[in-house]
Amino acid sequence: MDLTQIFKTPNPIIGVVHLLPLPTSALWGGSLKAVIDRAEQEATALASGGVDGIIVENFFDAPFPKDQVDPAVVSAMSLIVQRLQQMVMLPIGINVLRNDARSALAIATCTETQFIRVNVLTGVMATDQGLIEGKAHELLRYRRELGSEVKIFADVLVKHARPLSSPNLTVAVQDTIERGLADAVILSGWATGSPPTLEDLELATAAARGTPVFIGSGADWENIPTLMQAADGVIASTSLKRHGRREQPIDPIRVSRFVEATRRSVAEIELKATSPAPLPS
């Protein structure tokens, strides 16, 4: 997969719009307008800060169903995405939590957005929603039925979860790509706001054999120079919010600072890679 075809850059920075609680969720506030207004503000802040893409997800709908959301959630997310498309000229992805990849693909296909994020594409993970089984075969067949070109970005050993089998990262990455047919893989830390280690990113990148690898959580302007040494792109949210608190809205100043740090890091990595080796003394 060539990331430049979607993001106009081989090293995209993707910001996340965390939607306020949607209809039928436990914390639904009763006003879809309030949800839309907040989403528009956050998408605008991300775009003005210089990100290369956006993921829209129903983050505040916790507690989540494990594999199928209510139709009202699908309808609301579709409407919101269409509103955001009128405001920002950026590639948009969909993540329907906890693991409703089928609904995410349907939304993305009908709204003509570019990619989806799937928390569990292959394997079985023990989560706070119970056991979640990857359904790659169903998702890929559904994509074919829809005649869709939406790309699938899949988490490997996703955060807030533990694998039932031995957590061999190399095998998990290879299975996700070779058996799950993911277009890109995402590596996170153990929870929201927790980064993966450089060692794990290096293992994932080696196992991916050219398939793009994204940092999925915990990246900030301090650790991004290290993490980008072994990743193709980054998905960021918590560090972009006011005071770095996930319940706060996106802060465009923090977005700009993160984008600047990431692009500077990528440039330095590229320069180092192309610089001639020093002559032996």
| CA distance linking residue 113 with residue 79, whole number of Å | 13
So what's the pLDDT on residue 278?
Answer: 66
For the segment 142-150, the average pLDDT, to the nearest whole number, is 98
**Does residue 34 have a pLDDT over 80?**
yes
* Whole-number Å distance between alpha carbons of 80 and 56: 9
> What residue has token string 């993305």?
108
In this structure, of 124-133, 190-199, 254-263, the range with the lowest mean pLDDT score is 190-199
Choice among 116-125, 256-265, 271-280 with the minimum mean pLDDT: 271-280
Give domain status of residue 118, yes or no.
Answer: yes
**Owning domain of residue 59:** 10-271
- Output the domain CATH number for residue 198: 3.20.20.70
Average pLDDT estimate for 43-66: 97
Residue 218 lies in a domain: yes
Q: Has residue 37 been placed in a domain?
A: yes
Q: Which segment of 119-128, 217-226, 272-281 scores lowest on mean pLDDT?
A: 272-281
Residue 134 to residue 111: CA distance in whole angstroms: 24
Q: Is residue 4 part of a domain?
A: no
Measured in whole angstroms, the distance separating CA 205 from the mean position of its chain's CA atoms is 17
Does an H or E element contain 55, and which?
strand 53-57
Q: Cα separation of 228 and 222, whole Å?
A: 11
CA distance 17 to 20: 9
Average pLDDT over residues 42-56: 97
Q: How confident is the model at residue 272 (pLDDT cuts 50, 70, 90)?
A: confident
Q: Is the pLDDT of residue 126 over 80?
A: yes
CA 91, CA 8: separation in Å to the nearest integer?
10
The answer to whether residue 279 sits within a structural domain is: no
> So what's the pLDDT on residue 279?
60
Report pLDDT for 281. Answer: 59
Q: Using alpha carbons only, give the angle 153, 35, 118 rounded to the nearest 5 degrees.
A: 15
The confidence score (pLDDT) of residue 275 equals 76
Residue 2 inside a domain? The answer is no
Q: Are strands 13-18 and 115-118 parallel, antiparallel or unpaired?
A: unpaired
Would residue 3 count as lying in a domain? no
Please, which pLDDT band fits residue 159 given cuts at 50, 70 and 90? Answer: confident
Band of pLDDT at residue 3, cut at 50, 70 and 90? very high
In a domain, 66, yes or no: yes
DSSP code for 243 = G
Domain count for the chain: 1
